[in-house]
Amino acid sequence: MNLNLATSNPSEHVAAIDLGSNSFHMIVVRYQNGQLQVIDRVKEMVRLGGGLDKRNNLTEEAMARALEALERFGERLQGIPPHAIRAVGTKTLRTARNAEPFLEAAQRALNHEIEIISGFEEARLVYQGVTHDIEALDQPLLVMDIGGRSTELICGIGHAPKTMDSLTMGSVSMSQRHFADGRISRKRMERAELDALAELQGVRKQYREGHWERAIGSSGTIRSVARIIHSAGWSHNTITLESLKRLRKQVIKQGTVDNLQMEGMKEERRAVFPGGLAILYATFKSLKIKEMLVSDGALREGVIYDYIGRVSNHDIRELSIDKLMQRYHVDHTHAERVHVMASALFSQVAHHFSSDEERFENALRWGAKLHEIGLAISHRKYHLHSAYLIEHSDLPGFSRQEQRTLGALVGGHRMRLKTAPFNAFRLNTVLMELTILLRISVLLYRGRSKEQIPMPEIHLNREVITLHFDPQWINNHALTRHDLKVEQRRLRKVGIDLRYY
Protein backbone atom coordinates (compact mmCIF):
# COMPACT_ATOMS: atom_id res chain seq x y z
CA MET A 1 0.00 0.00 0.00
CA ASN A 2 1.52 3.30 -1.07
CA LEU A 3 -0.02 6.73 -1.08
CA ASN A 4 1.45 10.00 -2.28
CA LEU A 5 0.19 13.05 -0.41
CA ALA A 6 1.05 16.67 -0.76
CA THR A 7 1.58 17.00 2.97
CA SER A 8 4.74 15.93 4.72
CA ASN A 9 4.30 14.86 8.33
CA PRO A 10 6.75 13.31 10.78
CA SER A 11 7.00 9.53 10.84
CA GLU A 12 4.02 8.08 12.65
CA HIS A 13 2.37 4.72 13.11
CA VAL A 14 -1.35 4.64 12.34
CA ALA A 15 -3.68 1.80 13.31
CA ALA A 16 -7.20 0.86 12.21
CA ILE A 17 -9.32 -1.81 13.93
CA ASP A 18 -12.39 -3.30 12.26
CA LEU A 19 -14.74 -5.12 14.66
CA GLY A 20 -16.58 -7.11 12.02
CA SER A 21 -19.41 -9.56 12.51
CA ASN A 22 -17.20 -12.51 11.60
CA SER A 23 -13.61 -11.39 12.15
CA PHE A 24 -11.78 -8.63 13.98
CA HIS A 25 -9.00 -7.09 11.89
CA MET A 26 -6.21 -4.67 12.74
CA ILE A 27 -3.81 -2.99 10.36
CA VAL A 28 -0.81 -0.92 11.44
CA VAL A 29 0.94 1.31 8.90
CA ARG A 30 3.86 3.71 8.95
CA TYR A 31 2.99 7.16 7.65
CA GLN A 32 6.03 9.17 6.64
CA ASN A 33 6.56 11.97 4.12
CA GLY A 34 3.19 11.36 2.52
CA GLN A 35 3.75 7.60 2.13
CA LEU A 36 1.99 4.66 3.77
CA GLN A 37 3.67 1.32 4.38
CA VAL A 38 1.93 -1.63 6.02
CA ILE A 39 4.03 -2.97 8.89
CA ASP A 40 1.59 -5.31 10.61
CA ARG A 41 -1.76 -7.06 10.15
CA VAL A 42 -3.63 -9.00 12.83
CA LYS A 43 -6.79 -11.06 12.35
CA GLU A 44 -8.93 -12.84 14.96
CA MET A 45 -11.88 -15.03 13.95
CA VAL A 46 -14.27 -13.90 16.71
CA ARG A 47 -17.66 -14.62 15.07
CA LEU A 48 -19.34 -11.91 17.05
CA GLY A 49 -22.33 -11.96 14.69
CA GLY A 50 -22.82 -15.66 15.37
CA GLY A 51 -23.14 -14.81 19.05
CA LEU A 52 -26.43 -12.94 18.75
CA ASP A 53 -29.28 -14.80 20.43
CA LYS A 54 -32.93 -14.77 19.35
CA ARG A 55 -33.50 -11.45 21.11
CA ASN A 56 -30.45 -9.89 19.43
CA ASN A 57 -28.37 -9.88 22.58
CA LEU A 58 -24.70 -10.82 22.45
CA THR A 59 -24.08 -14.02 24.38
CA GLU A 60 -21.55 -14.20 27.19
CA GLU A 61 -19.40 -16.59 25.13
CA ALA A 62 -19.26 -14.25 22.14
CA MET A 63 -18.44 -11.26 24.30
CA ALA A 64 -15.69 -13.22 26.07
CA ARG A 65 -14.10 -14.14 22.71
CA ALA A 66 -14.27 -10.53 21.58
CA LEU A 67 -12.76 -9.12 24.78
CA GLU A 68 -9.87 -11.58 24.68
CA ALA A 69 -9.12 -10.58 21.08
CA LEU A 70 -9.30 -6.89 21.93
CA GLU A 71 -6.91 -7.31 24.84
CA ARG A 72 -4.38 -8.79 22.42
CA PHE A 73 -5.00 -5.95 19.97
CA GLY A 74 -4.52 -3.50 22.84
CA GLU A 75 -1.04 -4.88 23.53
CA ARG A 76 -0.06 -4.34 19.91
CA LEU A 77 -1.31 -0.74 20.02
CA GLN A 78 1.05 0.26 22.81
CA GLY A 79 3.32 3.06 21.69
CA ILE A 80 0.99 4.30 18.96
CA PRO A 81 -0.37 7.81 19.66
CA PRO A 82 -4.07 7.66 20.65
CA HIS A 83 -5.02 10.18 17.96
CA ALA A 84 -3.55 7.81 15.33
CA ILE A 85 -5.81 4.89 16.32
CA ARG A 86 -9.37 4.40 15.13
CA ALA A 87 -11.54 1.41 15.97
CA VAL A 88 -14.93 0.92 14.31
CA GLY A 89 -17.81 -1.50 14.91
CA THR A 90 -20.21 -2.59 12.18
CA LYS A 91 -23.52 -4.45 11.68
CA THR A 92 -23.51 -6.70 14.76
CA LEU A 93 -22.78 -3.81 17.10
CA ARG A 94 -25.42 -1.73 15.31
CA THR A 95 -27.92 -4.54 15.94
CA ALA A 96 -27.07 -5.88 19.41
CA ARG A 97 -29.48 -4.74 22.12
CA ASN A 98 -26.76 -4.99 24.74
CA ALA A 99 -24.14 -3.20 22.63
CA GLU A 100 -23.68 -0.34 25.12
CA PRO A 101 -22.53 -2.40 28.13
CA PHE A 102 -20.38 -4.55 25.84
CA LEU A 103 -18.77 -1.44 24.36
CA GLU A 104 -17.78 -0.21 27.80
CA ALA A 105 -15.96 -3.47 28.50
CA ALA A 106 -14.53 -3.60 24.96
CA GLN A 107 -13.09 -0.10 25.22
CA ARG A 108 -11.42 -1.01 28.49
CA ALA A 109 -9.93 -4.15 26.93
CA LEU A 110 -8.65 -2.26 23.90
CA ASN A 111 -7.79 0.82 25.96
CA HIS A 112 -9.25 2.96 23.22
CA GLU A 113 -12.61 4.34 22.11
CA ILE A 114 -14.67 2.23 19.69
CA GLU A 115 -16.99 3.98 17.23
CA ILE A 116 -20.13 2.39 15.83
CA ILE A 117 -20.53 3.39 12.20
CA SER A 118 -23.68 3.32 10.09
CA GLY A 119 -24.12 1.02 7.11
CA PHE A 120 -23.81 4.07 4.85
CA GLU A 121 -20.48 5.02 6.45
CA GLU A 122 -19.28 1.42 6.33
CA ALA A 123 -19.96 1.35 2.57
CA ARG A 124 -18.09 4.63 2.05
CA LEU A 125 -15.03 3.40 3.95
CA VAL A 126 -15.03 0.06 2.10
CA TYR A 127 -15.03 1.94 -1.19
CA GLN A 128 -12.07 4.06 -0.07
CA GLY A 129 -10.12 0.98 0.97
CA VAL A 130 -10.82 -0.87 -2.27
CA THR A 131 -10.19 1.98 -4.71
CA HIS A 132 -6.88 2.88 -3.07
CA ASP A 133 -5.77 -0.75 -3.34
CA ILE A 134 -6.33 -1.02 -7.08
CA GLU A 135 -5.59 1.35 -9.93
CA ALA A 136 -8.84 3.30 -9.76
CA LEU A 137 -8.96 5.32 -12.94
CA ASP A 138 -11.73 7.81 -13.60
CA GLN A 139 -14.13 5.09 -14.66
CA PRO A 140 -17.46 3.89 -13.22
CA LEU A 141 -16.94 1.14 -10.64
CA LEU A 142 -19.09 -1.29 -8.69
CA VAL A 143 -17.64 -2.37 -5.34
CA MET A 144 -19.08 -5.25 -3.30
CA ASP A 145 -18.13 -6.32 0.22
CA ILE A 146 -19.77 -9.31 1.94
CA GLY A 147 -19.47 -9.06 5.70
CA GLY A 148 -20.75 -11.33 8.43
CA ARG A 149 -24.18 -9.70 8.75
CA SER A 150 -24.27 -7.05 6.02
CA THR A 151 -23.32 -6.66 2.38
CA GLU A 152 -22.19 -3.31 1.03
CA LEU A 153 -22.74 -2.21 -2.58
CA ILE A 154 -21.19 1.00 -3.86
CA CYS A 155 -21.11 2.64 -7.28
CA GLY A 156 -18.61 5.40 -7.89
CA ILE A 157 -16.15 6.98 -10.28
CA GLY A 158 -12.48 6.65 -9.40
CA HIS A 159 -12.07 7.36 -5.69
CA ALA A 160 -15.44 9.14 -5.38
CA PRO A 161 -18.43 7.02 -4.25
CA LYS A 162 -21.77 8.09 -5.72
CA THR A 163 -24.38 5.51 -4.63
CA MET A 164 -24.08 3.42 -1.46
CA ASP A 165 -26.21 0.75 0.19
CA SER A 166 -25.74 -1.61 3.11
CA LEU A 167 -27.97 -4.68 2.79
CA THR A 168 -29.02 -6.76 5.79
CA MET A 169 -27.50 -10.06 4.69
CA GLY A 170 -24.07 -11.50 5.31
CA SER A 171 -22.12 -14.75 5.32
CA VAL A 172 -22.85 -15.42 9.02
CA SER A 173 -26.54 -14.51 9.03
CA MET A 174 -27.26 -16.30 5.74
CA SER A 175 -25.42 -19.45 6.87
CA GLN A 176 -27.28 -19.46 10.20
CA ARG A 177 -30.61 -19.08 8.42
CA HIS A 178 -30.17 -21.79 5.76
CA PHE A 179 -27.23 -24.03 6.76
CA ALA A 180 -27.33 -23.93 10.57
CA ASP A 181 -27.04 -27.72 10.97
CA GLY A 182 -24.15 -27.89 8.47
CA ARG A 183 -26.11 -29.69 5.74
CA ILE A 184 -25.88 -28.35 2.18
CA SER A 185 -28.30 -29.29 -0.60
CA ARG A 186 -29.43 -27.81 -3.91
CA LYS A 187 -32.80 -26.89 -2.40
CA ARG A 188 -31.17 -25.10 0.56
CA MET A 189 -28.76 -23.25 -1.68
CA GLU A 190 -31.62 -22.13 -3.92
CA ARG A 191 -33.59 -20.90 -0.90
CA ALA A 192 -30.56 -18.93 0.31
CA GLU A 193 -30.08 -17.42 -3.13
CA LEU A 194 -33.77 -16.51 -3.32
CA ASP A 195 -33.41 -14.83 0.07
CA ALA A 196 -30.47 -12.80 -1.27
CA LEU A 197 -32.32 -11.94 -4.48
CA ALA A 198 -35.22 -10.57 -2.43
CA GLU A 199 -32.82 -8.35 -0.49
CA LEU A 200 -31.26 -7.14 -3.76
CA GLN A 201 -34.61 -6.42 -5.38
CA GLY A 202 -34.90 -2.90 -4.00
CA VAL A 203 -31.48 -1.75 -5.24
CA ARG A 204 -31.11 -3.82 -8.41
CA LYS A 205 -31.88 -1.00 -10.86
CA GLN A 206 -29.21 1.40 -9.63
CA TYR A 207 -26.48 -1.25 -9.51
CA ARG A 208 -27.11 -3.25 -12.67
CA GLU A 209 -24.68 -3.45 -15.56
CA GLY A 210 -24.61 -0.18 -17.47
CA HIS A 211 -24.03 1.92 -14.36
CA TRP A 212 -20.43 0.67 -14.05
CA GLU A 213 -17.58 -0.67 -16.16
CA ARG A 214 -15.63 -2.73 -13.62
CA ALA A 215 -16.86 -4.81 -10.68
CA ILE A 216 -14.52 -5.23 -7.71
CA GLY A 217 -15.02 -7.52 -4.74
CA SER A 218 -13.67 -7.26 -1.20
CA SER A 219 -13.96 -9.19 2.08
CA GLY A 220 -13.08 -12.65 3.37
CA THR A 221 -15.88 -14.42 1.52
CA ILE A 222 -14.99 -13.01 -1.90
CA ARG A 223 -11.25 -13.50 -1.41
CA SER A 224 -11.90 -17.09 -0.28
CA VAL A 225 -14.02 -17.75 -3.38
CA ALA A 226 -11.26 -16.30 -5.57
CA ARG A 227 -8.56 -18.50 -3.98
CA ILE A 228 -10.61 -21.67 -4.52
CA ILE A 229 -11.50 -20.81 -8.11
CA HIS A 230 -7.93 -19.90 -9.02
CA SER A 231 -6.52 -23.01 -7.32
CA ALA A 232 -8.94 -25.16 -9.32
CA GLY A 233 -7.96 -23.41 -12.54
CA TRP A 234 -11.54 -22.38 -13.30
CA SER A 235 -10.55 -18.75 -13.76
CA HIS A 236 -7.41 -16.64 -13.58
CA ASN A 237 -7.10 -13.34 -11.66
CA THR A 238 -10.87 -12.73 -11.54
CA ILE A 239 -14.13 -14.39 -10.50
CA THR A 240 -16.37 -15.17 -13.47
CA LEU A 241 -20.00 -16.22 -13.49
CA GLU A 242 -19.03 -19.52 -15.11
CA SER A 243 -16.43 -20.25 -12.39
CA LEU A 244 -18.99 -19.40 -9.70
CA LYS A 245 -21.41 -21.92 -11.19
CA ARG A 246 -18.72 -24.63 -11.03
CA LEU A 247 -17.90 -23.75 -7.43
CA ARG A 248 -21.58 -23.73 -6.45
CA LYS A 249 -22.04 -27.19 -7.99
CA GLN A 250 -18.99 -28.50 -6.13
CA VAL A 251 -20.14 -27.08 -2.75
CA ILE A 252 -23.61 -28.65 -3.12
CA LYS A 253 -21.99 -31.96 -4.06
CA GLN A 254 -19.93 -31.95 -0.82
CA GLY A 255 -23.22 -32.20 1.14
CA THR A 256 -22.08 -30.81 4.49
CA VAL A 257 -19.95 -28.01 5.85
CA ASP A 258 -17.58 -30.57 7.41
CA ASN A 259 -16.96 -32.09 3.96
CA LEU A 260 -15.91 -28.78 2.38
CA GLN A 261 -12.33 -29.68 1.50
CA MET A 262 -11.13 -27.48 -1.33
CA GLU A 263 -7.72 -26.03 -1.96
CA GLY A 264 -7.71 -22.36 -0.99
CA MET A 265 -10.41 -22.66 1.70
CA LYS A 266 -9.33 -21.92 5.24
CA GLU A 267 -10.71 -24.04 8.06
CA GLU A 268 -12.11 -20.98 9.85
CA ARG A 269 -14.13 -19.98 6.78
CA ARG A 270 -16.04 -23.26 6.22
CA ALA A 271 -18.94 -22.68 8.61
CA VAL A 272 -19.99 -19.42 6.93
CA PHE A 273 -18.91 -20.21 3.37
CA PRO A 274 -22.24 -21.53 1.95
CA GLY A 275 -24.15 -18.41 3.01
CA GLY A 276 -21.49 -16.11 1.58
CA LEU A 277 -21.40 -18.06 -1.70
CA ALA A 278 -25.19 -17.82 -2.03
CA ILE A 279 -25.02 -14.03 -1.64
CA LEU A 280 -22.23 -13.68 -4.19
CA TYR A 281 -23.89 -15.96 -6.75
CA ALA A 282 -27.26 -14.20 -6.37
CA THR A 283 -25.59 -10.81 -6.79
CA PHE A 284 -23.84 -11.91 -9.99
CA LYS A 285 -27.19 -13.05 -11.36
CA SER A 286 -29.22 -10.06 -10.17
CA LEU A 287 -26.78 -7.34 -11.26
CA LYS A 288 -25.67 -9.20 -14.41
CA ILE A 289 -22.01 -9.32 -13.35
CA LYS A 290 -19.90 -11.35 -15.76
CA GLU A 291 -16.52 -10.84 -14.10
CA MET A 292 -15.25 -9.44 -10.79
CA LEU A 293 -11.77 -8.32 -9.82
CA VAL A 294 -10.72 -9.01 -6.24
CA SER A 295 -9.13 -6.41 -3.98
CA ASP A 296 -7.15 -6.80 -0.77
CA GLY A 297 -8.42 -3.39 0.35
CA ALA A 298 -11.35 -3.33 2.74
CA LEU A 299 -12.97 -1.35 5.55
CA ARG A 300 -9.83 -1.16 7.71
CA GLU A 301 -7.78 0.28 4.84
CA GLY A 302 -10.57 2.77 4.22
CA VAL A 303 -10.34 3.86 7.86
CA ILE A 304 -6.60 4.48 7.39
CA TYR A 305 -7.16 6.65 4.31
CA ASP A 306 -9.93 8.52 6.11
CA TYR A 307 -7.48 9.33 8.91
CA ILE A 308 -4.91 10.55 6.38
CA GLY A 309 -7.57 12.83 4.92
CA ARG A 310 -8.25 14.32 8.33
CA VAL A 311 -4.61 15.14 9.06
CA SER A 312 -3.98 16.49 5.56
CA ASN A 313 -6.88 18.97 5.58
CA HIS A 314 -9.19 16.77 3.51
CA ASP A 315 -11.61 15.86 6.28
CA ILE A 316 -14.78 14.45 4.71
CA ARG A 317 -16.70 15.55 7.82
CA GLU A 318 -16.26 19.22 6.90
CA LEU A 319 -17.80 18.54 3.49
CA SER A 320 -20.69 16.68 5.15
CA ILE A 321 -21.43 19.70 7.36
CA ASP A 322 -21.34 22.08 4.38
CA LYS A 323 -23.71 19.84 2.38
CA LEU A 324 -26.16 19.62 5.28
CA MET A 325 -26.15 23.42 5.58
CA GLN A 326 -26.88 23.71 1.87
CA ARG A 327 -29.61 21.08 1.98
CA TYR A 328 -31.53 22.91 4.72
CA HIS A 329 -30.81 26.45 3.47
CA VAL A 330 -28.91 27.65 6.51
CA ASP A 331 -28.17 31.38 6.82
CA HIS A 332 -24.42 31.00 6.31
CA THR A 333 -23.58 34.54 7.44
CA HIS A 334 -25.37 34.13 10.76
CA ALA A 335 -23.99 30.63 11.31
CA GLU A 336 -20.47 31.94 10.70
CA ARG A 337 -20.92 34.73 13.27
CA VAL A 338 -22.08 32.21 15.88
CA HIS A 339 -19.23 29.88 14.95
CA VAL A 340 -16.60 32.64 15.31
CA MET A 341 -17.99 33.69 18.69
CA ALA A 342 -18.21 30.10 19.98
CA SER A 343 -14.67 29.29 18.81
CA ALA A 344 -13.29 32.47 20.39
CA LEU A 345 -14.95 31.64 23.71
CA PHE A 346 -13.64 28.08 23.50
CA SER A 347 -10.08 29.25 22.83
CA GLN A 348 -10.09 31.13 26.14
CA VAL A 349 -10.99 28.00 28.12
CA ALA A 350 -9.43 25.30 25.88
CA HIS A 351 -7.11 24.19 28.68
CA HIS A 352 -10.21 23.16 30.59
CA PHE A 353 -10.85 20.41 28.01
CA SER A 354 -7.39 18.79 28.33
CA SER A 355 -6.12 16.37 25.67
CA ASP A 356 -9.42 16.18 23.74
CA GLU A 357 -9.28 19.87 22.88
CA GLU A 358 -9.45 19.43 19.09
CA ARG A 359 -12.33 16.97 19.32
CA PHE A 360 -14.41 19.34 21.44
CA GLU A 361 -13.54 22.36 19.32
CA ASN A 362 -14.69 20.49 16.21
CA ALA A 363 -17.99 19.56 17.84
CA LEU A 364 -18.61 23.16 18.91
CA ARG A 365 -17.77 24.52 15.45
CA TRP A 366 -20.05 22.03 13.71
CA GLY A 367 -22.81 22.64 16.25
CA ALA A 368 -22.64 26.39 15.60
CA LYS A 369 -22.91 25.84 11.86
CA LEU A 370 -25.85 23.42 12.10
CA HIS A 371 -27.84 24.84 15.01
CA GLU A 372 -30.54 26.31 12.76
CA ILE A 373 -31.11 23.50 10.24
CA GLY A 374 -34.33 22.60 12.07
CA LEU A 375 -35.88 25.88 10.87
CA ALA A 376 -36.48 24.05 7.58
CA ILE A 377 -39.15 22.07 9.46
CA SER A 378 -40.62 24.60 11.90
CA HIS A 379 -39.54 27.56 14.02
CA ARG A 380 -41.33 26.06 17.01
CA LYS A 381 -38.79 23.98 18.93
CA TYR A 382 -36.49 24.14 15.93
CA HIS A 383 -33.51 23.19 18.12
CA LEU A 384 -35.09 19.75 18.63
CA HIS A 385 -35.72 19.40 14.89
CA SER A 386 -32.07 20.33 14.29
CA ALA A 387 -30.92 17.68 16.75
CA TYR A 388 -33.09 15.02 15.10
CA LEU A 389 -31.82 15.81 11.60
CA ILE A 390 -28.20 15.70 12.76
CA GLU A 391 -28.61 12.42 14.59
CA HIS A 392 -30.53 10.60 11.84
CA SER A 393 -28.98 11.92 8.61
CA ASP A 394 -26.35 9.99 6.65
CA LEU A 395 -23.24 12.07 7.35
CA PRO A 396 -20.10 10.70 5.65
CA GLY A 397 -17.14 10.61 8.02
CA PHE A 398 -19.19 10.63 11.23
CA SER A 399 -19.71 7.74 13.61
CA ARG A 400 -23.03 7.18 15.35
CA GLN A 401 -21.54 8.43 18.62
CA GLU A 402 -20.33 11.64 16.96
CA GLN A 403 -23.76 12.30 15.51
CA ARG A 404 -25.46 11.66 18.86
CA THR A 405 -22.99 13.98 20.57
CA LEU A 406 -23.56 16.70 18.00
CA GLY A 407 -27.31 16.20 18.22
CA ALA A 408 -27.27 16.60 22.02
CA LEU A 409 -25.13 19.73 21.73
CA VAL A 410 -27.43 21.40 19.20
CA GLY A 411 -30.61 20.16 20.92
CA GLY A 412 -29.59 22.01 24.09
CA HIS A 413 -28.58 25.30 22.50
CA ARG A 414 -31.74 27.25 23.44
CA MET A 415 -34.80 27.32 25.67
CA ARG A 416 -34.82 25.22 28.84
CA LEU A 417 -31.62 23.20 29.38
CA LYS A 418 -32.32 19.63 30.48
CA THR A 419 -29.71 17.34 31.99
CA ALA A 420 -31.33 14.06 30.87
CA PRO A 421 -30.07 14.15 27.24
CA PHE A 422 -26.50 14.52 28.51
CA ASN A 423 -26.61 11.69 31.04
CA ALA A 424 -26.17 9.06 28.33
CA PHE A 425 -22.67 10.38 27.55
CA ARG A 426 -19.50 9.43 29.38
CA LEU A 427 -18.27 13.05 29.25
CA ASN A 428 -21.66 14.48 30.08
CA THR A 429 -20.33 17.42 32.13
CA VAL A 430 -17.93 18.47 29.37
CA LEU A 431 -20.67 18.20 26.74
CA MET A 432 -22.94 20.40 28.83
CA GLU A 433 -20.19 23.00 29.17
CA LEU A 434 -19.74 23.01 25.39
CA THR A 435 -23.49 23.43 25.02
CA ILE A 436 -23.42 26.45 27.30
CA LEU A 437 -20.71 28.05 25.15
CA LEU A 438 -22.98 27.54 22.14
CA ARG A 439 -25.98 28.91 24.05
CA ILE A 440 -24.07 32.07 24.95
CA SER A 441 -22.89 32.56 21.35
CA VAL A 442 -26.41 32.17 19.95
CA LEU A 443 -27.81 34.47 22.64
CA LEU A 444 -25.35 37.26 21.80
CA TYR A 445 -26.35 37.14 18.13
CA ARG A 446 -30.06 36.66 18.75
CA GLY A 447 -30.84 39.94 16.93
CA ARG A 448 -28.86 38.70 13.90
CA SER A 449 -27.11 42.05 13.88
CA LYS A 450 -24.17 42.71 11.57
CA GLU A 451 -22.60 44.70 14.38
CA GLN A 452 -19.21 43.46 15.56
CA ILE A 453 -19.68 42.32 19.15
CA PRO A 454 -16.68 42.96 21.41
CA MET A 455 -15.39 39.58 22.57
CA PRO A 456 -16.32 38.95 26.22
CA GLU A 457 -13.77 37.42 28.57
CA ILE A 458 -14.88 34.04 29.91
CA HIS A 459 -13.79 31.91 32.85
CA LEU A 460 -14.84 28.37 33.75
CA ASN A 461 -14.49 27.20 37.32
CA ARG A 462 -16.44 24.03 38.05
CA GLU A 463 -20.09 25.10 38.33
CA VAL A 464 -19.34 28.81 37.83
CA ILE A 465 -19.16 30.55 34.44
CA THR A 466 -18.12 34.19 34.44
CA LEU A 467 -18.46 36.61 31.51
CA HIS A 468 -16.80 40.04 31.43
CA PHE A 469 -18.18 42.38 28.74
CA ASP A 470 -16.99 45.71 27.47
CA PRO A 471 -18.85 48.02 29.94
CA GLN A 472 -19.97 50.51 27.32
CA TRP A 473 -21.25 47.80 24.98
CA ILE A 474 -23.22 45.84 27.60
CA ASN A 475 -24.74 49.03 29.02
CA ASN A 476 -26.03 49.96 25.56
CA HIS A 477 -27.68 46.56 24.94
CA ALA A 478 -30.64 46.21 27.27
CA LEU A 479 -32.11 43.22 25.38
CA THR A 480 -28.86 41.28 25.72
CA ARG A 481 -28.80 42.02 29.47
CA HIS A 482 -32.37 40.75 29.69
CA ASP A 483 -31.51 37.57 27.76
CA LEU A 484 -28.50 36.98 30.01
CA LYS A 485 -30.70 37.26 33.08
CA VAL A 486 -33.14 34.71 31.65
CA GLU A 487 -30.21 32.43 30.81
CA GLN A 488 -28.88 32.86 34.34
CA ARG A 489 -32.16 31.52 35.74
CA ARG A 490 -32.23 28.60 33.30
CA LEU A 491 -28.67 27.53 34.08
CA ARG A 492 -29.26 27.82 37.81
CA LYS A 493 -31.84 25.04 37.49
CA VAL A 494 -29.12 22.64 36.29
CA GLY A 495 -26.60 23.69 38.95
CA ILE A 496 -24.63 26.21 36.86
CA ASP A 497 -23.98 29.70 38.23
CA LEU A 498 -23.70 32.20 35.33
CA ARG A 499 -22.20 35.55 36.31
CA TYR A 500 -21.81 38.46 33.92
CA TYR A 501 -20.42 41.96 34.32
More confident residue, 33 or 342: 342
pLDDT at 4 over 60: no
Pair 183, 284 in one domain: yes
pLDDT per residue as tens digits for the range 287-303: 999 999 999 999 999 99
**Buried b / exposed e along 147-175 (16+ C-beta atoms within 10 A):** bbbbbbbbbbbeeebeebbbbebbbbbbb
Out of 238, 259, 294, a domain closes at 294
The arithmetic mean of pLDDT across residues 126-141, rounded, is 88
pLDDT per residue as tens digits for the range 66-93: 999 999 999 999 999 999 999 999 999 9
Rounded Cα–Cα distance for residues 18 and 91 (Å): 11
Out of 306, 330, 364, a domain closes at 306
pTM greater than 0.85: yes
List the CATH number of the domain containing 175. 3.30.420.150
pLDDT for 461 equals: 86
The arithmetic mean of pLDDT across residues 9-27, rounded, is 87
pLDDT for 11 equals: 52
**178 vs 4, 184, 248, 367, CA distance in Å?**
46, 9, 15, 46
Pair 364, 445 in one domain: yes
pLDDT for 145 equals: 97
pLDDT per residue as tens digits for the range 263-280: 999 898 999 999 999 999
pLDDT at 5 over 50: no
Rounded Cα–Cα distance for residues 93 and 100 (Å): 9
Kindly provide the residue ranges of all beta strands, DSSP E only, lying in 58-212, ordered along the sequence.
Answer: 85-89, 114-116, 140-146, 151-157, 160-167
Residue ranges of alpha helices (H) inside 111-240 are 119-133, 171-178, 186-200, 204-207, 220-232
Pair 321, 286 in one domain: no
The arithmetic mean of pLDDT across residues 157-175, rounded, is 95
Pair 165, 284 in one domain: yes
The arithmetic mean of pLDDT across residues 138-148, rounded, is 94
The arithmetic mean of pLDDT across residues 162-191, rounded, is 96
The arithmetic mean of pLDDT across residues 134-148, rounded, is 89
| Average confidence score pLDDT of the chain | 93
pLDDT for 10 equals: 43
pLDDT for 426 equals: 78
The arithmetic mean of pLDDT across residues 380-401, rounded, is 96
Nearest partner of 123 among 158, 155, 169, judged by Cα: 155
pLDDT for 36 equals: 82
Assigned domain for 186 exists:
yes
pLDDT for 124 equals: 97
Out of 235, 262, 294, a domain closes at 294
Assigned domain for 410 exists:
yes
Kindly provide the residue ranges of all beta strands, DSSP E only, lying in 377-475, ordered along the sequence.
Answer: 457-461, 464-468
pLDDT at 118 over 90: yes
pLDDT at 442 over 70: yes
In the chain, how long is the greatest CA-to-CA distance? 88
* Band of pLDDT at residue 355, cut at 50, 70 and 90: low
Range of the domain at 253: 135-294
pLDDT for 171 equals: 96
Pair 94, 241 in one domain: no
Pair 457, 360 in one domain: yes
Q: What is the tally of structural domains in the chain?
A: 3
pLDDT for 3 equals: 43
